[in-house]
């Protein structure tokens, strides 16, 4: 199997070709979409066979303009070659792809996490010959504290405010991080409100009975019915933005609300000040450096390709640990095969 980058991550076998997480709509014989984050899907689907999970298919229906053009498959085969998905533990519906043939076994992680966050099946690494792995946090600078300890600390802070009649605003990306936050914090208040993309995506997931969605009131409805004034014990979930943003400044001034930001980048002590929020917590839907290394060790492949984020740094670290690792770039095909 040959792995290279040419407008998309490409894997070519003896007599088959696959493109992974292509954001362009050009024709490929076969495409795999690991999850529905916008940097992994196109705006228009290519007219071709598509391997993706049933949940990502539902999300694609809402995110692309030509959904009917796709031919969707949960698993796929071409002669003796099989393409199978398994949970990548990143966001709702996210999967890794496992390709097995007489040429060997390849695993493409997409975005990945091996932490158990209570509502998603974590990625479980398995022995393979070739591993294509994300490296968003692929530097030793990024090692997250335990998920449970961070959640506990945030829960205590949130409860403290609510007990003192101070409402809280919990900010996290509407698809992925938000479901993690709902799972961890929504039980702390009876008054759960969502704003903008959070309400929209949650409603979509709720209608499809997808795990991770919860019952919530739309912010617009809460505002129009004066619900926000009737009680101060509310939690508002919103997309992650700067606390200087007009909407958040308004919430602080009008309701004395406290702002919480949740991001892997909150490991940096300056993050809270950069985002102008009251509290920030380092939780992520990606694996941290140690977890990426653990995936590589358990997969024990002959060849690793690093993609997304700190590709060069992570490949260099992997080489130090005795792996054959190459950052996937336009140069990779040239370096690897000629
Ligand atoms: Zn993602």
Largest interatomic CA distance in the chain: 70
Cβ atoms of 109 and 138 within 8 Å: the answer is no
- For ligand 1, the distance from its centroid to the CA atom of residue 188, given in whole angstroms, is 27
Q: Which two tokens stand for residue 272?
A: 């809270």
- For ligand 1, the distance from its centroid to the CA atom of residue 147, given in whole angstroms, is 18
The pLDDT of residue 67: 87
Its pTM surpasses 0.75: yes
Q: Which two tokens stand for residue 274?
A: 């950069």
| Domain positions in the chain | 2-142+286-337, 147-281
The pLDDT of residue 27: 87
The pLDDT of residue 1: 93
- For ligand 1, the distance from its centroid to the CA atom of residue 286, given in whole angstroms, is 8
| pLDDT averaged per 10 residues, the chain (length 338) | 92 95 90 96 93 96 87 95 98 97 97 92 98 97 95 98 98 94 97 96 95 96 95 96 96 97 93 96 96 98 96 98 90 47
CATH fold label, 147-281 = Rossmann fold (3.40.50)
11-48: b or e for each residue (b if 16 or more CB lie within 10 Å)? bebeebebbbbbeebeebebbbbbbbbeebbbeebbeb
Query: Could you read off the pLDDT of 40-88 as tens digits, one per residue?
Result: 999 999 999 999 999 999 999 999 999 887 799 999 999 999 999 999 9
- For ligand 1, the distance from its centroid to the CA atom of residue 38, given in whole angstroms, is 8
Q: Is 209 left (phi over 0), alpha (psi -120 to 50) or beta?
A: left
CATH number of 2-142+286-337: 3.60.15.10
- For ligand 1, the distance from its centroid to the CA atom of residue 222, given in whole angstroms, is 31
- DSSP codes, 120-157: SPPP-----SEEEEEETT-STT--PPPHHHHHHHHHHH
The pLDDT of residue 331: 53
């Amino acid at each position: 199997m040959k792995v290279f980058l040419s407008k998309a991550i490409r894997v070519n076998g003896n007599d088959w070709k696959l493109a992974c997480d292509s954001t362009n709509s050009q024709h490929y014989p076969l495409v795999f979409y690991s999850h529905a984050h916008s940097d992994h899907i196109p705006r228009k689907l290519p007219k071709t066979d598509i391997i993706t999970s049933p949940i990502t298919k539902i999300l694609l229906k809402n995110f692309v303009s030509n959904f009917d053009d796709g031919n969707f498959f949960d698993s796929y085969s071409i002669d003796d070659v099989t393409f199978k998905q398994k949970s990548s533990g990143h966001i709702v519906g996210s999967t890794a792809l496992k390709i097995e043939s007489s040429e060997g076994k390849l695993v493409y992680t997409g975005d990945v996490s091996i932490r158990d966050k209570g509502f998603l099946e974590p990625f479980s690494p398995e022995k393979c010959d070739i591993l294509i792995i994300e490296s968003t946090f692929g530097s030793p600078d990024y090692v997250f504290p335990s998920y449970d300890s961070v959640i506990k600390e945030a829960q205590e802070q949130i409860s403290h405010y609510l007990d003192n009649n101070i409402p809280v605003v919990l900010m996290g990306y509407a698809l992925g991080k938000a479901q993690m936050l709902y799972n961890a914090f929504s039980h702390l208040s009876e008054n759960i409100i969502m704003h903008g993309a959070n309400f929209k995506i949650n409603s979509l997931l709720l209608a499809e009975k997808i795990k991770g969605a919860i019952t919530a009131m739309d912010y617009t409805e809460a505002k129009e019915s004066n619900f926000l004034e009737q009680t101060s014990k509310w939690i508002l979930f919103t997309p992650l933005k700067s606390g200087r943003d007009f909407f958040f400044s308004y919430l602080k001034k009008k309701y004395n609300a406290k702002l919480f930001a949740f991001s892997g980048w909150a490991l940096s002590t300056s993050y809270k000040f950069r985002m102008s929020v009251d509290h920030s917590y380092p939780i992520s839907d990606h694996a941290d450096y140690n977890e990426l290394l653990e995936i590589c060790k358990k997969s024990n492949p002959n060849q690793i390709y690093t993609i997304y984020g700190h590709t060069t740094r992570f490949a260099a670290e992997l080489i130090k640990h005795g792996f054959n690792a190459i950052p996937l770039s336009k140069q990779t095909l040239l370096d690897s095969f000629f």
